[in-house]
Structure 1
Amino acid sequence: MSALSPAAAQQRTVFDVMDNRGALLGWEAVGRLDLPGGFCTGALIGRDLVLTAAHCVYDTETGQPRPAQGMMFRAGYHRGSEIVARRVARWVAPEAYEAIMRGGGSPTTGAAVATDVALLKLESAVSSAEADPFRVHEDSADGTRVSVVSYGRGREEVLSREPDCQMTRRYRGDILGFDCDVTFGSSGAPVFVREDGRLRILSVISSGTASGESYGPSLPRLVSELSGRLMRAESRPKVTAGAKRVIVGGGREASGARFVRP
């Protein structure tokens, strides 16, 4: 495993730091996901749905999911304030990722990276006047230009963008490789591609290496699965006394990408 030094990443890569409110125009739906003991980056893909990495909502040392209580999504966070803040009501991760964690597997394996996505349901919707959600992109070819927008360590108080990197290849298991330089706090950050003049989310940051490579899962199938699970959970009848209840929710005490090669 090769760790990525935050300082080294900032020296090698030029970031567009959005150091004033005006610079956030168009990026309001990207926010900081504050967790007990740390933070990740997330993005709205619905009025009350946030996309991030699954390892952000798991305690990756114990493999245990944590309650959604205590998680806060802060859209357009900037130096202590945000455009809108919403608490997380519940979250879901892919069943394959859950199985890896239950079985004591590592979140840094290829199988984990391929399913390292979580969908968070907010307690209440974000209005269109506050932030417009992004859509998920279906597919892209090797060499497609992408950008990553995140709250990385050392710049966690302001949103920053690496504007000029590429999707380098697609690995087995639908893992996407990028030459984007990421650091702790970039976990769950949206990887954007431009389609017909509009920004779409191609992937989320799962892991990276000291050489400036990063990885994330292909999203369409996973997001469809997670959306369906949330909808089914909300349509279930309320649990009565004597019935067994399964609670889906989680968190993690330390945030940041796991920097290994899938």
Structure 2
Amino acid sequence: MAVLGSLLSPTSGAAQSTGLARLSDRDDLLGWEAVGRLDIDGRGYCSGTLIATSLVLTAAHCVFDKQSRQLRDPRNLTFRAGLRDGVAIAERGVARIAVPEGYVPGSTEWLDRVRHDIALLELEKPIVSSDADPFVLHSGQRVGTAVSVTSYGEGRSEALSRQRRCNILAIVDDVMAFDCDVTFGSSGAPVFARVGSRGRIVSVISGGGTFEGQSVALGPSLTKIVGRLKAQLRNAPRPVPDRIRRLPVGERNQSTGAKFIRN
């Protein structure tokens, strides 16, 4: 866990944060279907968000094997939009992964690692907007801005939990610190700023640290890197599918009971 100390400039006094609320009912989930659980080879998970019908935003460390530090096979990843108690709004495999060149798994340069801890996943098949409406990115955030987080996590892996308000405590070199309630499995979760009637994504959760004796969540700025990752996917050859998944008639999307991915 990183100690931020004087590296970040603090806010002059953030508003009180709210607690987590479980999105238990279908009505609670309305509008948040684009946030989902990214299941990893049936053994782990992170959080992720649709930013286009076929693009999922998450954290880079979620798509690297912790032991080998190699990029995971995208065929071992499954995005489950709006997963709630074993049932997903939509479920898709992953065709391709794009990560920044500057991301180095296991690097001891923690500030640089957080700054590049972004991944963009292209799904094998789009999820229509009528099922899960993608979120857009937001720039121009500043210290003291009120944000919210919607995520899965340790002890709450079967349904989304939403914190309606937390705050940007500090920003330095495209790394932000938040007083948001996150835990293992929240990696890759979207941090929203309220713009008009709907939230826009300002960051994704990378990990945790301490700031002035307070536990904080850390996340990167997105706008500079995400555009490059989109171009990376556009310019890469699309893989030829080598598998067909068949589900028996009437089978529902069931939870894997996967464990969270640690950063």
| TM-score, with structure 2 as normaliser | 0.81
Post-superposition Cα deviations, 1:167-217, rounded to whole Å, max 9, x if no partner, equal 11112x310111112100100000000112321000000011374301100
Question: Could you say if the C-alpha distance between residues 129 and 54 of structure 1 is closer, same or farther in structure 2, counting changes exceeding 3 Å?
Answer: same
Following TM superposition, where does structure 1 have runs of at least 4 consecutive aligned residues deviating by more than 6 angstroms? Answer: none
Counterpart-to-counterpart distance in 2, 1:109 and 1:134: 28
What SS does structure 2 have at the residue aligned with 1:176?
Answer: strand
Counterpart-to-counterpart distance in 2, 1:126 and 1:161: 22
Gaps of 5+ in 1: 3-11, 239-252
Compute the RMSD of aligned alpha carbons.
Answer: 2.2
**Which letter does structure 2 place at the counterpart of 1:182?**
V
8 A contact 1:193–1:199 mirrored in 2: yes
Aligned: 1:208 with 2:208: yes
Gaps of 5+ in 2: 3-16, 241-257
Shift of 1:60: 2.7
Counterpart-to-counterpart distance in 1, 2:260 and 2:99: 16
| TM-score, with structure 1 as normaliser | 0.82
Aligned sequence identity (%): 46
What SS does structure 2 have at the residue aligned with 1:56?
Answer: helix
Post-superposition Cα deviations, 1:66-120, rounded to whole Å, max 9, x if no partner, equal 11012100001001110000000110100110xx23xx624x7111100000000
1:47 pairs with 40, 44, 53, which one? 53
Describe how 1:1-262 pairs up with structure 2 within 5 A.
1=1, 14-36=19-41, 37-97=43-103, 100-101=104-105, 105-106=107-108, 109-171=110-172, 173-209=173-209, 211-234=214-237, 255-258=260-263
Post-superposition Cα deviations, 1:104-148, rounded to whole Å, max 9, x if no partner, equal 624x71111000000000001111221110001012111000011
Shift of 1:234: 3.9
What SS does structure 1 have at the residue aligned with 2:150?
Answer: strand
Deviates more, 1:124-133 or 1:25-34: 124-133
Counterpart-to-counterpart distance in 2, 1:254 and 1:79: 15
Shift of 1:254: 6.9
